[in-house]
Structure 1
Amino acid sequence: MAGWLIGIPVPFALASPPSWGWIVAANVLLGLNQGLTWSMTVNMKIDLVGPARRGLATGLNEAAGYTAVGVTALVTGYLATAYGLRPVPELIGVVFVVAGLALALIVRDTAAHVALELSQHTAPVPTGESTTLGATFARTSWHHPSLRGASQAGLVNNLNDGLTWGVFPLLFTDHGLGLAAVGLIKGLYPILWGLGQIPTGRLSDRIGRKPLIVAGMLTQAAGFVLALALLDTPLLAGVLSAVALGLGTAMVYPALIASVSGHAHPAWRANALGAYRFWRDIGYAVGALVAGLLADALGLNATVVAAAVLTAGSGLLAALWISEHRTAG
């Protein structure tokens, strides 16, 4: 509820901003809104479904969110074409805020499910293991091997997304593609990423999280290789790389969240998921910065090579650090 209340000013600030500062402020509020609301939907679904179906539940949650991002981009693009850039496209956000706040008011809290899970959990919190935010953040970021492996994989995965937004349009336009073709390439990636998480999330419940995490990171690395290897036919290179990146991300995303929830005790699971999502989502910003620095220093091709090497290395670290243990519950 707090997240949706914070989000109320966002569409109005974007619809008629008197200065650039209003745009910046709206993005700050939007970030807080997303951090609170989306994180809680992840926690609530994990609370509700239990260990056996966490991959499917998180896959559905992430697919719903990222598919909505794509659909909203299409709708606002149409509205901008028909009515101009402001204020109509931004005001669709009013509908989202009202709907989100209304749902937050009527949805049931899942605290009782966590309490039940804790009462039936076979393993108590080990003596001396702190459940505070600081201790859990350190445990998720570094001390616990599997959680460390998931955090670094999540960061690199989203670094790829930030990097492709900066590099791919320039790379493919330099090789003769127009805006429509570049838009197709960039659209395929999130569509496959979003919709693909439903079957991959379910698959992670069946075969385990680690195989999908490792294979997904290596598939993304292959996507970067394809982008360069087939540049003589840039449209084919772009489409195949987007397919590989989208499918690789779909393999990784729900499996990583389910893996973190499986390795975290219910007493500190929400804190662990928050720490993991911090590292994962900061990858967007890191990717944008890395893309700019490397492209300026080494060129676009070298930046894509560096992304492939980094992603493959992340997959190997995931294979080394992440175990397939799941918390009983």
Structure 2
Amino acid sequence: MANQHSAATALGLRANATQFALLVAINALVGGMVGQQQAVLPLLAHAEFGLSGYTFLFTYVAAFGIAKATSNWFAGTLSDRYGRKPVLLAGWLFAIPVPLMLILAPDWSWAIAANVLLGINQGLTWSTTVIMKIDLVGPAQRGLAMGLNEAAGYGAVAATSLLAGYHAEQYGLRPAPFLLGIAYTALALLLSGVFVRETRPHALLDAGNIASRGASARHGRDAKLSNRQIFSLTSFREPALSSASLAGLVNNLNFGLSWGLFPLLFATADLGTSQIGLLFALYPGVWGIGQMFTGALSDRIGRKHLITAGMLVQATALAIIALGSGFGGWAAGTVLLGAGTAMVYPTLLAAVGDVAHPSWRGRAVGIYRVWRDLGYAVGAIIGGIVADLVGLNAALWMAAALSVAAAIAVAIRMYETHPPHPRPTPAGDAPAMLPRDHTNP
């Protein structure tokens, strides 16, 4: 199989630099669709719709998270069955109404409906760009690839959030911030439809390389796993995959909580809209830039300890934000939260790519992202309830405690999926049906 595809395709970042760079740019547009509303929509809810209850206000984050989590499953399944590019294009079609609905919304239900469509857009497009980059680069540079992918996406979240906050302060909450989304969607449809090429042949080449290394019998059985078996392994049974799913859920619980809570918390100090936008941009900004380094670092030192440390850094950052009362303390906390998230985010995706067989990698990534993005909804709902009943700071302390618990779970259960130097797999370290495949050159 390797010879069949090698003439037309090659694995590696350098060999696929043009397509990889194009997908990085598209994922930046994906992130920008979220950034257009993050700092603005909670303020819009208060100013124009008179919403004050945290639980009700966070419904738009929950709607987004549930829709995104569900569409991640379809992104992985459909991309394995029909190819990556059709799923990417379909995801951008769902984005078309989103900014228009937010501009024209007569009541809050429109904002919730727009976030359902945005969640579908994010699940289909972001998942697919992740899968396509893993396809292109092969096993040796997965961490670097995921770092660049997530850096582009969350860097664009930060930049667009800052830009949207500026436009909201200068020109009003509507329509100026959401005009960015219209431009992003039009550009993404053009790039995805005309210039992106299908990457599924690269996954087939990777699968052929695995067989040629003498693992064909075991991996051949892996290639025939059912959707139910893949879901079970990724969610519960396989130690590395299921640990990644848990850590991803808690990581996005923190992000979902921050999305709905941070603008309201920062507004208690009578900060201006642009200052709130800056504070909110620091978190994904540091997160985005940091991933350019942490993803590559995980290729050198491994995944497990970087994930464990990153969850503990996030817990520390949430505690600092809970104890803060002004711009300086909150800025320090959001910067640290971004750093901790950067340690975790691309590393978890790389770990999933390490363990999953290329023939069902898309589905494994999709299932991992189902659990991870359910964190948006869990954080929004639980955080909103705790904030309503006890206060904003109590919701932050809850998230900090959950981050510590996730770090402990990873430290105990996850094995190292990508050591800096290949070594024999310890007996019993992973289920026999899913052996680890260390492919460092």
TM norm structure 1: 0.89
CA distance in 2, matches of 1:20, 1:303: 24
CA distance in 2, matches of 1:223, 1:35: 27
Shift of 1:308: 1.8
CA distance in 2, matches of 1:259, 1:87: 41
CA distance in 1, matches of 2:266, 2:99: 33
Aligned to 2:65: none
Shift of 1:297: 3.3
Aligned to 1:245: 337
Deviations 1:289-323 (A, max 9, x none): 11122223333443333222211110110111211
CA distance in 2, matches of 1:81, 1:164: 21
CA contact (8 A) 1:146 1:321 kept: yes
Which of these residues, 230, 250, 254, is aligned with residue 160 of structure 1? Answer: 254
Aligned to 1:109: 198
Q: 1:113 to 1:78 in 2, by over 3 A?
A: same
Aligned-residue Cα RMSD (Å) equals: 2.4
Deviations 1:59-93 (A, max 9, x none): 11111111112222233334444544444443332
Shift of 1:193: 0.8
**After the TM superposition, which of the residue ranges 34-43 and 164-173 deviates more from structure 2?**
164-173
CA contact (8 A) 2:159 2:285 kept: no
Q: Structure 1 stretches of 5 or more lacking a match?
A: none
CA distance in 1, matches of 2:374, 2:191: 28
The letter of the residue matching 1:317 is: A
Q: 1:56 to 1:83 in 2, by over 3 A?
A: same
**After the TM superposition, which of the residue ranges 192-201 and 291-300 deviates more from structure 2?**
291-300
Q: Structure 2 stretches of 5 or more lacking a match?
A: 1-88, 419-436
Aligned to 1:303: 395
Aligned to 1:192: 286
CA contact (8 A) 1:155 1:281 kept: yes
CA distance in 2, matches of 1:185, 1:14: 23
Mapping 1:203-282, distance limit 5 Å: 203-228=297-322, 231=324, 234-282=326-374
Aligned to 1:148: 242
Aligned to 1:56: 144
Aligned to 2:35: none
The letter of the residue matching 2:294 is: T
CA contact (8 A) 1:132 1:268 kept: no
CA contact (8 A) 2:304 2:411 kept: yes
Check if 1:11 corresponds to 2:103.
no
The letter of the residue matching 1:221 is: A
Check if 1:31 corresponds to 2:125.
no
CA distance in 1, matches of 2:176, 2:397: 41
CA contact (8 A) 1:263 1:325 kept: yes
CA distance in 1, matches of 2:108, 2:361: 39
Shift of 1:134: 2.7
Check if 1:119 corresponds to 2:208.
yes
Q: 1:306 to 1:271 in 2, by over 3 A?
A: same
CA distance in 2, matches of 1:243, 1:177: 21
The letter of the residue matching 1:269 is: R
Aligned to 2:417: 325
Shift of 1:178: 2.8
In the comparison of the two structures, how many residue pairs are matched? 326
Aligned to 1:132: 226
Q: 1:240 to 1:88 in 2, by over 3 A?
A: closer
Shift of 1:53: 0.8
